[in-house]
Amino acid sequence: METYDALLASITPDTGETRTILDPATGEPVGEAPVHSVQDLEAAIAAAAAAQPAWAALGHDARSAALLKAADAVERSAEELARLLSREQGKPLNGPNARFEVGACAAWLRVAAGTPLDPETVVDDGETRAELHYRPIGVVGAIGPWNWPMMITVWQIAPALRMGNAVVVKPSEYTPLSVLALAKVLNEELPEGLLTVVSGGRDVGARLAEHPAIGKVMFTGSTATGRAIIKSSADTVKRLTLELGGNDAGIVLPDADPKAIAEGLFWGAFINTGQTCAALKRLYVHDSLYEAVCEELTKVAAAMPMGNGLDENNVLGPLQNRQQYDIVARLVEAARDSGARILLGGNPDTDQPGHFYPATLVADIDNGNPLVAEEQFGPALPIIRYGTVDEAVTMANALDVGLGASVWSPDPARAREVAVRLEAGTVWINKHGAVDPRIPFGGAKQSGYGLEFGVEGLKALGVPQVING
């Protein structure tokens, strides 16, 4: 285990071009990130290709044992990693935030290591025997986001490594330090060259997506960037797993208890200060309990402290960057200008440092309003009134994205009847965004394709091979 200062120093380059990373809560410098080039990427891919065959030859048991040791290494440095994550991304240490994210990294590594994947006998009738196996792909390119930089990187690299691949990671330009530090800790238990982080710009990401030595690209981010990756990968027919933008709907059924569900609704929407792909981003509430839900949700939201993430009392932090802050502010103003009712927030203190936008609840808003129709990716939740369940389902399904959705009711059977009608990769009941490393996760429509987590996630990082005879 290293001190925080030693960990930061270990990822600070001695030579070459660097870029100062600023704390989104204070505007103060966090550290210096390397600015890697396409040439650096080429070197990383060559090293990965050289390291991968020996890693693949170890077999599942030995690779899993290494991943379990890597999980131990993450836990040894957990507090230092969480502090760096809080300073760079902005999320508080407490609540479902920085310490939670680092803990999830260890959990996902352990589940990836422990999930069995045996050859599947497809046919065995006495005359024909066919087995389905999964071989390593080779070198996997992982392109990650800035909202959960450590956790989503582990989502990508843990199954890739377990399946015998090497990985080259391209982190977001907003949060490279967190990913560099995580990789440094993981590499304490991994062979040299197997896992490399290339902290570069868009030119590096574009080359990674098209590189002939990359057999698969895993990407979490915007739908627009996902489309560009699809085009870039076409000439080399790469395998892809894309977890793209979402605008998740939640439907509160008429039999729900507003007080009982208020805190679950809040965290479904405001986890990571709303900066989560599968967060609850538009809430549909039946006429009969609309005002009660608004009232109870406002009580919960008003009690949640926001501020500098290193303050142990806070559970909400700043938006990670000014660009995202401006998007949220624009959408809330569009709602205000349309005559929507601001229940809470909507009044940022522009004199304070950092990208803080207050937790904002907006009622009496039309379903076509930009705050509803566009993904806000921040701490502003529109609450839309509906009269019939058919109307709510139609509105929920109207957009071209479908990452997640939720249904809220004390009657599980009734909730499932509605859930199966929703066009989303995952539909939660009485919760939202609760991902689990054992349960497959992926999007519908333009929220991407391919599954992560569990057995299906492992299969997605292998090449299926049928042995027939």
Looking at the annotation, which residues are catalytic? 243, 277
Is residue 443 within 8 A of residue 285, CB to CB? The reply is no
Q: Edge-to-edge strand order for the sheet containing 462-468?
A: 120-124, 129-136, 462-468
CA distance 335 to 342: 9
Tokens, residue 386 = 């509906």
Distances (CA, A) of 465 to 136, 275, 328: 10, 39, 47
Helix/strand/coil (H/E/C) assignment for every residue in the chain: CCCHHHHHHHCCCCCCCEEEEECCCCCCEEEEEECECHHHHHHHHHHHHHHHHHHHHCHHHHHHHHHHHHHHHHHHCHHHHHHHHHHHHCCCCCCCCHHHHHHHHHHHHHHHHHCCCCCEEEEECCCCEEEEEEEECCEEEEECCCCCHHHHHHHHHHHHHHCCCEEEEECCCCCHHHHHHHHHHHCCCCCCCCEEECCECHHHHHHHHHCCCCCEEEEECCHHHHHHHHHHHHHHCCEEEEECCCCEEEEECCCCCHHHHHHHHHHHHHHHHHCCCCCEEEEEEEHHHHHHHHHHHHHHHHCCCECCCCCCCCCECCCCCHHHHHHHHHHHHHHHHCCCEEEECCCCCCCCCCCCCCCEEEECCCCCCHHHHCCCCCCEEEEEEECCHHHHHHHHCCCCEECEEEEECCCHHHHHHHHCCCCCCEEEECCCCCCCCCCCECCEECCEECCECHHHHHHCCEEEEEEEC
Residues 223, 421, 244: CA angle, nearest 5 degrees: 10
Going by their DSSP bridges, the two strands 448-449 and 239-243 should be labelled as: antiparallel
Distances (CA, A) of 355 to 175, 327, 351, 380: 15, 12, 11, 14
Tokens, residue 243 = 């977890």
